[in-house]
């Protein structure tokens, strides 16, 4: 009996690993989101796909997937790891800097979209609690698909990328109270709803504090010790332990495990180990999140699609149109450009994996009737399948509107608004652009200047705040607001021009830190005379990296 059970588990595991080995390379080759591949595989290999014709073709039982509890547990772990990675990529400092977009724009988007979509569901004959769940579930977009698109296109640092990520982040956080609402609706609380909600909020607050302070005091010393005395397996074990402990504490408090994982990721985001931890966890997250999409694909009834084709098509178009209109209007209210508003609106118009989670949970808990649940699951899935076509359209529309705006602007330095706590970049060639990308990814506000209008326009196409101006002139330096800036960096490849800029900055501000680029030893000597000036020697950095690589390949290192 045990051997038979073990054999069945191994067959299912082998089938999933085979799917991963086949699906992922093919989807990456065609640049299609991996989540959609797993969703489609679940539809085809599930009980409504190949499972429906096993009676006639028994051999198909070898490649069909059974919807068992193990699969659902792994799918939930995938969601936990997704929230952990989201927390890991968001430092508290970055969250604070983005607070207006996250808690302002994001909250408005979820609230208004849920109200409008929920009202439509109510008018369509659904009861109040089902309408609320439909509104909240469909207000959420696909973090997995949109984040992959932003990463592949290197758009995180753009204005549209920041606005989209801010909305997605708030949507991910909104999942926690939505899951709490599901618990309330599925419980027979009677007159004790207020006490239950109050107790749950108290538990949530206490849990957040416990995880936060325990992590703040213990995590850094633990990872420092593991990094110094343990190998890669110890580091991986400790990273997974943090996720397990954070999730378990939240679960024991009666809260979502995803909340604990998110807080744990947020704590580690401020350490020097976050990139290494992320590289260890992401493969696990991608695989287990694939199981999440696989499990929901299995619950989609193909026959239902043929019966309701017209209504499903209208629902998909209607939902995406409503969400896009709301997001565009809210982005404009939050003073985003037309290009940024349009690109974000189109990119986030789909429903997503958390919509599947809300509808699927409502079906499991008996809060939603099967036909309504099937209709919603298929609607969400279809909007996700359309997204790979919609995402390039969003970028094209954004660039088109940016180009139209640029044709009538010269972005002179006199147009700079008041700024504070920003980083000034003089020179926006390839080095300046690379520096700006890194700083924007880390959440800093930048202000760039270049005397070449083509460089300025090129930067503006990527939504960078770069202005036309000669950094050696007082008018440009005044426009840079050096008195309120964090620091200034000069990335020009002309040593003499760099020296003149440093000299001019020092006349205007004697204490602001300046980072300059030096080609050789002569350049270093030239800049060493200035106080509060850091010199980055290109020749030493490149020669050191080249030497290290050579020695590594020759067996002298490692």
Specify the CATH number for the domain of residue 12.
1.20.1530.20
d(CA 368, CA 258): 23
Does 161 lie in the same domain as 69?
A: yes
Specify the CATH number for the domain of residue 502.
3.40.50.720
Choose one of 380, 404, 428: the last residue of a domain.
404
Q: 122 burial class (0-12, 13-18, 19+ CB within 10 angstroms)?
A: middle
Does 376 lie in the same domain as 485?
A: no
252, part of any domain: yes
Ordered per-residue pLDDT tens for the chain, 558 residues: 445 545 555 666 666 667 667 767 777 777 777 777 777 777 777 777 776 667 666 666 665 665 556 666 666 777 777 778 777 777 667 777 778 888 999 999 999 999 999 999 999 888 888 999 999 999 999 888 888 788 777 787 678 888 998 899 888 888 878 877 887 777 766 666 677 777 777 877 787 787 777 777 777 778 777 777 766 777 778 888 888 888 888 777 767 777 778 878 877 777 777 777 777 777 776 776 777 777 777 777 777 778 888 888 999 999 999 999 999 999 999 988 888 899 999 999 999 888 888 888 888 888 888 888 889 988 998 898 888 888 889 988 987 887 676 555 667 666 777 788 899 999 888 888 888 888 887 778 889 998 887 788 778 877 788 888 888 888 888 888 888 899 999 888 888 888 888 888 888 888 889 888 877 777 677 677 777 788 887 766 666 677 777 766 675 544
Closest residue by Cα to residue 80 from 239, 229, 241, 289: 289
d(CA 320, CA 550): 53
Closest residue by Cα to residue 443 from 197, 102, 212, 130: 102
What local confidence, expressed as pLDDT, does residue 314 receive?
Answer: 93
437, part of any domain: yes
Does 334 lie in the same domain as 300?
A: yes
440, part of any domain: yes
Does 480 lie in the same domain as 351?
A: no
Closest residue by Cα to residue 163 from 421, 380, 339: 339
24, part of any domain: yes
User: Is 381 within 8 Å of 402 (Cβ atoms)?
Assistant: no
Choose one of 345, 370, 404: the last residue of a domain.
404
Does 225 lie in the same domain as 362?
A: yes
Choose one of 369, 404, 439: the last residue of a domain.
404
320, part of any domain: yes
What local confidence, expressed as pLDDT, does residue 64 receive?
Answer: 62
What local confidence, expressed as pLDDT, does residue 121 receive?
Answer: 92
Does 202 lie in the same domain as 247?
A: yes
Range(s) of the domain holding residue 59: 2-404
Per-residue tokens: 55: 């009676």
What local confidence, expressed as pLDDT, does residue 317 receive?
Answer: 94
Does 396 lie in the same domain as 481?
A: no
This prediction's pTM: 0.71
Closest residue by Cα to residue 349 from 394, 396, 314: 394
What local confidence, expressed as pLDDT, does residue 347 receive?
Answer: 94
Does 161 lie in the same domain as 201?
A: yes
Angle of helix 338-347 relative to helix 370-406, nearest 10 degrees, comes to: 160
What local confidence, expressed as pLDDT, does residue 134 receive?
Answer: 92
Does 272 lie in the same domain as 125?
A: yes
User: Is 257 within 8 Å of 247 (Cβ atoms)?
Assistant: yes
Does 259 lie in the same domain as 206?
A: yes
Per-residue tokens: 492: 């020009």
51, part of any domain: yes
d(CA 442, CA 270): 11
**DSSP 8-state symbol, 47:** T
d(CA 207, CA 27): 40
558, part of any domain: no
Does 451 lie in the same domain as 332?
A: no
Does 166 lie in the same domain as 62?
A: yes
d(CA 65, CA 103): 41
Closest residue by Cα to residue 357 from 256, 500, 490, 467: 256
Domain total for the chain?
2
126, part of any domain: yes
């Amino acid at each position: 009996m045990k051997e038979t059970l073990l054999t069945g588990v191994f067959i299912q595991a082998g089938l999933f690993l085979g799917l991963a080995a086949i699906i992922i390379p093919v989807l990456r080759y065609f640049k299609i989101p991996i989540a959609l591949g797993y969703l489609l595989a679940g539809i085809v290999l599930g009980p409504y796909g190949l499972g429906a014709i096993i009676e006639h073709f028994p051999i198909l039982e070898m490649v069909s997937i059974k919807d068992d509890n193990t699969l659902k547990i792994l799918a939930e772990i995938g969601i936990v790891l997704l929230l952990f990675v989201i927390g890991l990529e968001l430092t508290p400092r970055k969250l604070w800097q983005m607070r207006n977009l996250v808690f302002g724009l994001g909250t408005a988007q979820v609230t208004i979209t849920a109200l409008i979509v929920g009202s439509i569901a109510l008018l369509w004959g659904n009861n109040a609690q089902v309408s609320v769940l439909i509104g909240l579930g469909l207000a959420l977009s696909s973090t997995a698909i949109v984040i992959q698109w932003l990463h592949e296109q290197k758009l995180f640092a753009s204005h549209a990328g920041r606005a989209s990520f801010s909305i997605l982040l708030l949507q991910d956080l909104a999942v926690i109270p939505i899951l709490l609402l599901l618990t309330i609706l599925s419980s027979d609380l009677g007159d004790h709803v207020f006490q239950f909600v109050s107790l749950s909020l108290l538990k949530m607050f206490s849990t957040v504090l416990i995880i936060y302070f325990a992590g703040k005091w213990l995590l850094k010393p633990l990872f420092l010790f593991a990094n110094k005395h343990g190998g890669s397996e110890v580091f991986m074990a400790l990273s997974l332990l943090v996720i397990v402990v954070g999730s378990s504490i939240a679960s024991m408090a009666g809260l979502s495990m995803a909340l604990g994982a998110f807080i744990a990721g947020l704590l580690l985001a401020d350490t020097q180990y976050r990139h290494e931890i992320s590289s260890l966890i992401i493969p696990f997250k991608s695989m287990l999140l694939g199981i999440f999409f696989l499990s929901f694909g299995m619950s989609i009834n193909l026959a239902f699609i043929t019966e309701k084709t017209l209504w499903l098509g209208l629902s998909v178009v209607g939902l995406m149109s409503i969400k896009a209109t709301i997001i565009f209007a809210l982005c404009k209210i939050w003073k985003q450009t037309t290009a940024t508003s349009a690109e974000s609106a189109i990119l986030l118009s789909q429903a997503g994996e958390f919509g599947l989670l809300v509808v699927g949970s409502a079906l499991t808990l008996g809060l939603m009737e099967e036909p309504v649940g099937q209709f919603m699951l298929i609607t969400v899935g279809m909007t996700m399948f359309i997204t790979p076509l919609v995402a390039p359209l969003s970028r094209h529309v954004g660039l088109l509107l940016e180009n139209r705006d640029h044709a009538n602007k010269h972005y002179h330095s006199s147009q700079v608004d008041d700024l504070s706590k920003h980083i000034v970049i003089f020179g926006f060639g390839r080095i300046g652009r690379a520096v700006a990308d890194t700083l924007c990814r880390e959440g800093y506000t930048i202000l760039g200047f270049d005397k070449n209008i083509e460089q300025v326009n090129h930067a503006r196409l990527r939504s960078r705040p770069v202005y036309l101006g000669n950094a050696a002139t007082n008018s440009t330096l005044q426009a840079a607001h050096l008195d309120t800036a964090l620091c200034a960096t000069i990335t020009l490849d002309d040593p003499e021009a760099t020296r003149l800029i440093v000299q001019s900055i020092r006349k205007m501000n004697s204490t602001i830190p300046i980072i300059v680029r030096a080609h050789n030893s002569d350049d270093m000597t030239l800049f060493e005379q200035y106080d509060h000036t850091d010199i980055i020697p290109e020749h030493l950095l490149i020669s050191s990296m080249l030497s290290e690589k050579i020695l590594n390949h020759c067996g002298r290192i490692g």
